[in-house]
Amino acid sequence: MSQAPAFYADTLQVSHLSTGYRDRQVIQNLSLPPVRPGEVHSLLGPNAAGKSTLLRALAGLQAATGSIQLGPQELVGLPLAEHARRVTYMPQTLPQGVALSVLESVLGALQASATDRPGEHQGRAGHEADQRRAVAVLERVGILHLAMEGLDHLSGGQRQLVSLAQSLVREPRVLLLDEPISALDLQHQLRVMRLVHELARERGMIAIMVLHDLQIAARWSDGIVMLAQGAVVATGAPAQAITPDTLARVYGVRARVEHCSRGSLQIMVDDVL
Protein backbone atom coordinates (compact mmCIF):
# COMPACT_ATOMS: atom_id res chain seq x y z
CA MET A 1 0.00 0.00 0.00
CA SER A 2 1.14 3.56 -0.51
CA GLN A 3 1.47 4.31 3.19
CA ALA A 4 2.07 1.75 5.92
CA PRO A 5 -1.33 1.17 7.54
CA ALA A 6 -1.77 0.96 11.29
CA PHE A 7 -1.19 -2.34 13.06
CA TYR A 8 -4.43 -3.27 14.78
CA ALA A 9 -4.37 -4.89 18.18
CA ASP A 10 -7.98 -5.52 19.16
CA THR A 11 -9.49 -8.95 19.79
CA LEU A 12 -13.00 -9.71 18.52
CA GLN A 13 -15.28 -11.41 21.02
CA VAL A 14 -18.77 -12.57 20.07
CA SER A 15 -21.04 -13.59 22.96
CA HIS A 16 -24.69 -14.58 23.27
CA LEU A 17 -25.51 -13.30 19.79
CA SER A 18 -29.02 -13.74 18.41
CA THR A 19 -30.19 -12.60 15.01
CA GLY A 20 -32.57 -13.53 12.23
CA TYR A 21 -35.40 -12.24 10.10
CA ARG A 22 -38.81 -10.84 10.87
CA ASP A 23 -40.51 -14.22 10.78
CA ARG A 24 -37.68 -16.41 12.11
CA GLN A 25 -34.73 -16.40 14.45
CA VAL A 26 -31.74 -18.02 12.68
CA ILE A 27 -28.97 -17.63 15.29
CA GLN A 28 -29.80 -17.95 18.95
CA ASN A 29 -27.46 -17.19 21.85
CA LEU A 30 -24.31 -17.98 19.87
CA SER A 31 -20.85 -17.44 21.37
CA LEU A 32 -17.53 -17.87 19.58
CA PRO A 33 -13.96 -18.28 20.78
CA PRO A 34 -12.07 -14.96 20.71
CA VAL A 35 -10.50 -13.97 17.38
CA ARG A 36 -7.14 -12.33 17.95
CA PRO A 37 -5.54 -9.67 15.75
CA GLY A 38 -3.78 -11.24 12.76
CA GLU A 39 -5.96 -14.35 12.73
CA VAL A 40 -8.02 -15.84 9.91
CA HIS A 41 -11.11 -17.80 10.92
CA SER A 42 -13.50 -19.73 8.69
CA LEU A 43 -17.21 -20.38 9.11
CA LEU A 44 -18.18 -23.77 7.70
CA GLY A 45 -21.46 -25.62 7.54
CA PRO A 46 -24.16 -26.87 5.21
CA ASN A 47 -26.52 -24.73 3.13
CA ALA A 48 -28.91 -22.68 5.25
CA ALA A 49 -26.85 -23.24 8.43
CA GLY A 50 -26.87 -19.49 9.08
CA LYS A 51 -23.32 -18.60 8.00
CA SER A 52 -24.22 -15.56 5.87
CA THR A 53 -26.77 -14.42 8.45
CA LEU A 54 -24.10 -14.54 11.15
CA LEU A 55 -21.61 -12.70 8.94
CA ARG A 56 -24.13 -9.95 8.15
CA ALA A 57 -24.92 -9.57 11.84
CA LEU A 58 -21.19 -9.23 12.58
CA ALA A 59 -21.09 -6.56 9.85
CA GLY A 60 -23.94 -4.64 11.50
CA LEU A 61 -26.15 -5.18 8.46
CA GLN A 62 -28.70 -7.13 10.42
CA ALA A 63 -30.21 -6.34 13.79
CA ALA A 64 -28.78 -8.49 16.58
CA THR A 65 -28.84 -8.81 20.33
CA GLY A 66 -25.98 -9.95 22.50
CA SER A 67 -22.43 -8.70 22.23
CA ILE A 68 -19.84 -8.18 19.48
CA GLN A 69 -16.89 -6.60 21.17
CA LEU A 70 -13.84 -5.31 19.31
CA GLY A 71 -11.22 -4.49 21.91
CA PRO A 72 -12.98 -2.18 24.37
CA GLN A 73 -15.72 -1.20 21.88
CA GLU A 74 -19.16 -2.82 21.87
CA LEU A 75 -20.42 -2.94 18.27
CA VAL A 76 -24.00 -4.11 18.87
CA GLY A 77 -26.19 -1.01 18.84
CA LEU A 78 -23.61 1.23 17.13
CA PRO A 79 -24.92 3.28 14.18
CA LEU A 80 -24.10 1.48 10.91
CA ALA A 81 -21.54 4.10 9.81
CA GLU A 82 -19.64 3.66 13.09
CA HIS A 83 -19.83 -0.11 12.77
CA ALA A 84 -18.59 0.08 9.16
CA ARG A 85 -15.55 2.11 10.24
CA ARG A 86 -14.36 -0.93 12.12
CA VAL A 87 -15.74 -3.84 10.12
CA THR A 88 -15.71 -4.24 6.32
CA TYR A 89 -18.02 -6.74 4.67
CA MET A 90 -17.35 -8.34 1.30
CA PRO A 91 -20.68 -9.63 -0.07
CA GLN A 92 -21.08 -12.74 -2.22
CA THR A 93 -21.72 -10.70 -5.37
CA LEU A 94 -21.22 -7.16 -6.66
CA PRO A 95 -24.36 -5.34 -7.78
CA GLN A 96 -24.95 -5.41 -11.56
CA GLY A 97 -25.51 -2.37 -13.76
CA VAL A 98 -22.91 -0.07 -12.21
CA ALA A 99 -21.36 2.10 -14.94
CA LEU A 100 -17.91 2.52 -13.39
CA SER A 101 -14.44 1.34 -14.27
CA VAL A 102 -12.68 -1.01 -11.88
CA LEU A 103 -10.39 1.78 -10.66
CA GLU A 104 -13.31 4.19 -10.19
CA SER A 105 -15.19 1.60 -8.16
CA VAL A 106 -12.21 0.98 -5.87
CA LEU A 107 -11.71 4.73 -5.46
CA GLY A 108 -15.41 5.05 -4.71
CA ALA A 109 -15.12 2.43 -1.96
CA LEU A 110 -12.17 4.32 -0.50
CA GLN A 111 -13.93 7.67 -0.65
CA ALA A 112 -17.05 6.20 0.93
CA SER A 113 -14.85 5.45 3.94
CA ALA A 114 -13.35 8.97 3.94
CA THR A 115 -14.78 9.85 7.35
CA ASP A 116 -12.44 7.18 8.78
CA ARG A 117 -9.48 9.17 7.58
CA PRO A 118 -10.00 12.77 8.63
CA GLY A 119 -7.56 15.13 6.91
CA GLU A 120 -6.16 12.38 4.67
CA HIS A 121 -8.45 12.79 1.71
CA GLN A 122 -8.55 16.50 0.99
CA GLY A 123 -7.54 18.42 -2.12
CA ARG A 124 -5.40 17.36 -5.02
CA ALA A 125 -2.72 15.73 -2.85
CA GLY A 126 -5.42 13.69 -1.10
CA HIS A 127 -6.85 12.60 -4.44
CA GLU A 128 -3.44 11.53 -5.69
CA ALA A 129 -2.80 9.61 -2.46
CA ASP A 130 -6.14 7.83 -2.91
CA GLN A 131 -5.23 6.99 -6.52
CA ARG A 132 -1.90 5.51 -5.39
CA ARG A 133 -3.63 3.52 -2.69
CA ALA A 134 -6.26 2.16 -5.09
CA VAL A 135 -3.63 1.25 -7.69
CA ALA A 136 -1.50 -0.48 -5.03
CA VAL A 137 -4.48 -2.60 -3.96
CA LEU A 138 -5.32 -3.54 -7.55
CA GLU A 139 -1.70 -4.56 -8.03
CA ARG A 140 -1.70 -6.63 -4.87
CA VAL A 141 -4.95 -8.38 -5.82
CA GLY A 142 -3.42 -9.01 -9.28
CA ILE A 143 -5.97 -7.06 -11.35
CA LEU A 144 -4.14 -3.84 -12.19
CA HIS A 145 -4.49 -4.75 -15.87
CA LEU A 146 -8.28 -4.43 -15.42
CA ALA A 147 -8.14 -0.90 -13.92
CA MET A 148 -9.84 0.81 -16.89
CA GLU A 149 -12.32 -1.99 -17.70
CA GLY A 150 -16.00 -1.35 -17.07
CA LEU A 151 -17.37 -3.41 -14.15
CA ASP A 152 -20.14 -4.76 -16.37
CA HIS A 153 -17.62 -6.22 -18.83
CA LEU A 154 -15.96 -8.48 -16.28
CA SER A 155 -16.26 -12.22 -15.76
CA GLY A 156 -17.70 -13.58 -12.50
CA GLY A 157 -14.27 -14.34 -11.10
CA GLN A 158 -12.91 -10.93 -12.08
CA ARG A 159 -15.88 -9.28 -10.36
CA GLN A 160 -15.12 -11.24 -7.21
CA LEU A 161 -11.52 -9.97 -7.27
CA VAL A 162 -12.75 -6.38 -7.72
CA SER A 163 -15.07 -6.83 -4.75
CA LEU A 164 -12.07 -7.97 -2.70
CA ALA A 165 -10.07 -4.91 -3.84
CA GLN A 166 -12.99 -2.63 -2.83
CA SER A 167 -12.88 -4.16 0.65
CA LEU A 168 -9.10 -4.16 1.07
CA VAL A 169 -8.63 -0.55 -0.02
CA ARG A 170 -10.38 0.45 3.22
CA GLU A 171 -7.62 -1.24 5.22
CA PRO A 172 -10.15 -2.83 7.56
CA ARG A 173 -9.52 -3.89 11.13
CA VAL A 174 -12.02 -6.69 10.68
CA LEU A 175 -12.70 -8.11 7.21
CA LEU A 176 -15.74 -10.36 6.73
CA LEU A 177 -15.80 -12.30 3.47
CA ASP A 178 -18.82 -14.26 2.27
CA GLU A 179 -17.57 -17.06 0.00
CA PRO A 180 -14.76 -14.91 -1.42
CA ILE A 181 -13.33 -17.59 -3.72
CA SER A 182 -16.51 -19.25 -4.98
CA ALA A 183 -16.07 -17.95 -8.56
CA LEU A 184 -12.27 -18.24 -8.76
CA ASP A 185 -10.04 -20.70 -10.58
CA LEU A 186 -7.51 -22.76 -8.61
CA GLN A 187 -4.65 -20.31 -8.95
CA HIS A 188 -6.75 -17.31 -7.94
CA GLN A 189 -8.24 -19.19 -4.98
CA LEU A 190 -4.72 -19.73 -3.69
CA ARG A 191 -3.65 -16.14 -4.39
CA VAL A 192 -6.65 -14.70 -2.53
CA MET A 193 -6.24 -16.97 0.48
CA ARG A 194 -2.52 -16.15 0.65
CA LEU A 195 -3.18 -12.41 0.33
CA VAL A 196 -5.81 -12.35 3.09
CA HIS A 197 -3.48 -14.38 5.31
CA GLU A 198 -0.52 -12.04 4.62
CA LEU A 199 -2.57 -8.89 5.27
CA ALA A 200 -3.86 -10.32 8.53
CA ARG A 201 -0.33 -11.05 9.69
CA GLU A 202 1.09 -7.72 8.44
CA ARG A 203 -1.55 -5.44 9.94
CA GLY A 204 -3.19 -7.34 12.75
CA MET A 205 -6.34 -7.46 10.60
CA ILE A 206 -8.93 -10.04 11.64
CA ALA A 207 -10.46 -11.99 8.75
CA ILE A 208 -13.57 -14.14 9.09
CA MET A 209 -14.78 -15.89 5.98
CA VAL A 210 -17.53 -18.22 4.92
CA LEU A 211 -16.08 -21.10 2.89
CA HIS A 212 -17.43 -24.32 1.44
CA ASP A 213 -14.03 -25.81 0.58
CA LEU A 214 -12.90 -27.66 3.72
CA GLN A 215 -9.42 -28.34 2.38
CA ILE A 216 -8.77 -24.65 1.76
CA ALA A 217 -10.30 -23.69 5.10
CA ALA A 218 -8.07 -26.20 6.88
CA ARG A 219 -4.96 -24.93 5.17
CA TRP A 220 -5.44 -21.21 5.66
CA SER A 221 -7.39 -20.80 8.89
CA ASP A 222 -6.19 -20.30 12.43
CA GLY A 223 -9.63 -21.17 13.70
CA ILE A 224 -12.69 -22.98 12.38
CA VAL A 225 -16.32 -22.56 13.42
CA MET A 226 -18.69 -25.28 12.24
CA LEU A 227 -22.31 -24.23 12.21
CA ALA A 228 -25.44 -26.32 11.75
CA GLN A 229 -28.98 -25.01 12.11
CA GLY A 230 -27.74 -21.73 13.54
CA ALA A 231 -25.74 -23.32 16.34
CA VAL A 232 -22.04 -23.96 16.84
CA VAL A 233 -21.18 -27.65 16.52
CA ALA A 234 -17.38 -27.45 16.73
CA THR A 235 -14.68 -24.81 17.08
CA GLY A 236 -10.93 -24.80 17.33
CA ALA A 237 -7.84 -25.23 15.20
CA PRO A 238 -8.60 -27.02 11.90
CA ALA A 239 -7.43 -30.41 13.16
CA GLN A 240 -9.64 -30.13 16.23
CA ALA A 241 -12.78 -28.94 14.46
CA ILE A 242 -12.64 -30.91 11.19
CA THR A 243 -12.93 -34.56 12.18
CA PRO A 244 -14.84 -37.57 10.81
CA ASP A 245 -17.27 -37.12 13.70
CA THR A 246 -18.00 -33.41 13.07
CA LEU A 247 -18.24 -33.98 9.31
CA ALA A 248 -20.80 -36.72 9.94
CA ARG A 249 -22.80 -34.57 12.34
CA VAL A 250 -22.66 -31.35 10.35
CA TYR A 251 -22.74 -32.50 6.74
CA GLY A 252 -24.12 -36.04 7.06
CA VAL A 253 -21.17 -37.58 5.19
CA ARG A 254 -18.73 -40.37 5.90
CA ALA A 255 -15.24 -38.91 5.65
CA ARG A 256 -11.63 -39.57 6.53
CA VAL A 257 -9.27 -36.88 7.80
CA GLU A 258 -5.55 -37.60 7.56
CA HIS A 259 -2.61 -35.56 8.73
CA CYS A 260 0.09 -35.18 6.06
CA SER A 261 3.76 -35.20 6.91
CA ARG A 262 3.86 -31.51 5.83
CA GLY A 263 1.37 -30.66 8.56
CA SER A 264 -1.74 -30.14 6.41
CA LEU A 265 -5.05 -31.98 6.69
CA GLN A 266 -6.32 -34.21 3.89
CA ILE A 267 -10.10 -34.58 3.91
CA MET A 268 -11.59 -37.40 1.87
CA VAL A 269 -15.35 -37.68 1.66
CA ASP A 270 -16.35 -41.27 0.88
CA ASP A 271 -20.12 -41.24 0.95
CA VAL A 272 -23.36 -39.75 2.17
CA LEU A 273 -24.46 -41.28 5.46
Ligand X SMILES: Nc1ncnc2c1ncn2[C@@H]1O[C@H](COP(=O)(O)OP(=O)(O)OP(=O)(O)O)[C@@H](O)[C@H]1O
Q: Which residues bind ligand X (CB under 6 A)?
A: 21, 26, 45, 47-53
- Closest contact distance (angstroms) between CB of 250 and ligand X is 11
Largest CA distance in the chain: 63
Nearer Cβ to ligand X (37/50): 50
Phi/psi of residue 39, nearest 5 degrees? -100, 150
Q: In angstroms, what is the minimal distance from the CB of 19 to ligand X?
A: 10
Q: Which is nearer to ligand X, 2 or 92 (CB)?
A: 92
As measured in angstroms, the least distance from the Cβ of 20 to ligand X is 7
Query: Given the complex with ligand X, which of 141 and 211 has the nearer CB atom?
Result: 211
58 or 106: whose CB is closer to ligand X? Answer: 58
CA distances in angstroms from 63 to 19, 87, 141, 148, listed in the order given: 6, 15, 32, 38
Taking each helix axis as running N to C, give the angle between helix 123-141 and helix 156-168, from 0 to 180 degrees, rounded to the nearest 10: 130
Minimum CB–partner distance for residue 209 and ligand X (Å): 12
Cα angle: 145, vertex 162, 221; to 5 degrees: 115
Output 50 or 238, the one with its CB closest to ligand X.
Answer: 50
| DSSP element (H, E) containing 111 | helix 102-112
At its nearest, how many Å lie between ligand X and the CB of residue 214?
A: 13
Cβ atoms of 34 and 13 within 8 Å: the answer is yes
Minimum CB–partner distance for residue 211 and ligand X (Å): 10
Number of helices (H) and strands (E), helices first, in the chain?
A: 9, 12
Report the alpha-carbon distance of residue 103 to residue 180 in Å, rounded.
20
Q: Which CB sits closer to ligand X, 26 or 84?
A: 26
- The letter for the amino acid at 234 is A
CA atoms within 13 A on the CB side of 267: 21
Task: Please state, in angstroms and rounded to a whole number, the distance separating the CA atoms of residues 236 and 78.
Answer: 29
